[in-house]
Amino acid sequence: MDLGLKGKKVILTGGSRGIGRAAVEMFAAEGADVAFCSRNPEQVAETAAAIAPHGGKVFAEAFDMESGHDAYRAWLTKAGEALGGCDIFVPMISTSGAGATGDWHKTLDYDILGAVIGVEVLEPHLAASGEGSIVLMSSTAGLETFLVPQGYNALKGAMLVYAGQLSQALGPKGIRVNCISPGPIKFPGGNWEMIEKAMPGLYGAVNADMAMGRWGGAEEVAKTVVFLASPASSFTTGTNVVIDGGYTKRVQF
């Protein structure tokens, strides 16, 4: 299927490993121009080198959300200028990757305000696109009780409300807004790889709850991100796609 992404300008935050890295590679393989960031300079450089052969523009820089909101706005502005606009925005910086899911303030800054500020800065570009698209990251941890009460779980639930309302507000401007909610996903260097070694009991319990009998991979989530973001999904907005291999047990209508 031609997703219609050739020449599209994609800005994605948190793109050097896991789901973000997989999405960056897929966007580039589809012919999109890509701007992305990550805290780790070496991973940023390696990812940029990996996608360069696809031939599109690549703007890649190390960036840490601890630098503050003004620095984040400056990076987004610089990314938009480097690509010459923005058709697709996918904010993926999260305390999940930073190992700080229990920190309410950081989760607000990284996950929620990372999305909110990004939309504020990039909305003019997205509206000018005519095919503007935003894909936000929630989690199955925001859909039902999971592990312990913590900022990450509660604020990922708030992300769903924000995404739904944003889709209504930006729809008249030609901007689609959708959300994805991955379940436990395992990839090299990710949380669940570490939990497998440090807390085998928890790892085994979660594994046993997988209806499909296996862990999901970063690429399996990234494929949904790229499709939802693309013109191939042109009449989809305001939705939340659960990608969890049957881990959650809700009846979904």
CATH code (residue 133)? 3.40.50.720
* Count of domains forming the chain: 1
pLDDT of residue 158: 94
Closest listed residue to residue 76, CA positions, set 27, 24, 9, 133: 9
Quote the Cα angle for 234-236-241, to 5°.
Answer: 130
Asked whether residue 211 is domain-assigned, the answer is no
The CA angle 118-228-133, to the nearest 5 degrees, is 35
Q: Is residue 250 part of a domain?
A: no
Contact between 231 and 3 (Cβ < 8 Å): yes
Using CA atoms, how far apart are residues 110 and 65, in angstroms rounded to an integer? 7
Residue 25 forms part of a structural domain: yes
In a domain, 239, yes or no: yes
So what's the pLDDT on residue 215? 87
Strand order in the sheet with 175-182: 58-62, 33-38, 9-13, 88-91, 132-137, 175-182, 240-243
pTM recorded for the entire structure: 0.94
CA atoms of 124 and 239, how far apart (whole Å) = 23
- Give a yes or no: residue 192 inside a domain: no
198 in any annotated domain: no
Question: Whole domain around residue 34: which residue ranges?
Answer: 9-187+217-243
Residues in contact with 238: Cβ distance below 8 Å, sequence separation at least 6, in sequence order: 163, 164, 167, 168, 171, 177, 178
What pLDDT sits at residue 252? 59
CB neighbourhood size of 219 (10 A): 15
| pLDDT tens, N- to C-terminus, the chain (253 residues) | 789 999 999 999 998 889 999 999 999 999 999 999 999 999 999 999 999 999 999 999 999 999 999 999 999 999 999 999 999 999 999 988 777 878 899 999 999 999 999 999 999 999 999 999 999 999 988 788 767 777 888 999 999 999 999 999 999 999 999 999 998 888 787 777 777 777 788 778 888 888 888 888 999 999 999 999 999 999 999 999 999 998 888 765 5
Q: Catalytic amino acids? A: 138-139, 152, 156
- Domain presence at residue 195: no
**Close Cβ partners of 253 (under 8 Å, ≥ 6 residues apart):** none
Residue 200 lies in a domain: no
